[in-house]
Amino acid sequence: MGAGQWYLRSSGGNRAFQFGNSADKITPGDFTGDGKTDIAFWRPSTAQWFVLRSEDGSFYAFPFGSPGDIPVPADYDGDGKTDAAVFRPSELNWYIQLSGGGVIVQQFGAFGDKPVVADYDGDGRADAQEFGLRCRRELRWFCLFR
């Protein structure tokens, strides 16, 4: 597997570093709640999440999901932290591991849909778990708000 090369350009300057590999799925978000985006990825072969903390450059890893899932991280509970989440297309289930504890499982969608996560109703929480939009083959959008 090739290296996962990251290139960052910010007001603090430019950086380049290796974190992950070419098969990993990029999943940046504020997992630590410090107001800055953490570099992160989900490894499909093992369903492991890897987060490089923005505050000190250390990293941590944890399992969540299964091979074949699609990572859909976002702040689903409005606490200011990105929650690990996956959409399982084989079951049409959303699995959300809340940063404050607990897991939500919600079914939503139709086979062939694609998860599209965002805060569509402006309440400070991502609408995707089962809440979410998926673009169906008919090019129609369906959204379930939580």
| pLDDT value of position 134 | 43
The Cα–Cα gap between 63 and 52 comes to: 15
pLDDT at residue 26 tops 80: yes
The Cα–Cα gap between 35 and 23 comes to: 28
Model-level pTM?
0.81
| pLDDT value of position 133 | 43
| pLDDT value of position 145 | 52
91-146 residue pLDDT tens: 999 999 999 999 999 888 777 778 888 887 888 888 764 444 444 445 555 555 55
Q: Of 3-7, 15-19, 82-86, 96-100, which range is least confident?
A: 3-7
32-82 residue pLDDT tens: 999 999 999 999 999 999 999 999 989 999 999 999 999 999 999 999 999
> How would residue 3 be classed by pLDDT, with cut points 50, 70 and 90?
low
Instruction: Strands of the chain (E only): list them.
Output: 3-10, 13-21, 25-26, 39-43, 48-52, 59-63, 70-71, 84-88, 93-97, 103-107, 115-116, 133-135, 141-143
Tokens representing 96?
């959300």
| Identity of the amino acid at 76 | Y
The Cα–Cα gap between 4 and 81 comes to: 24
| pLDDT value of position 136 | 47
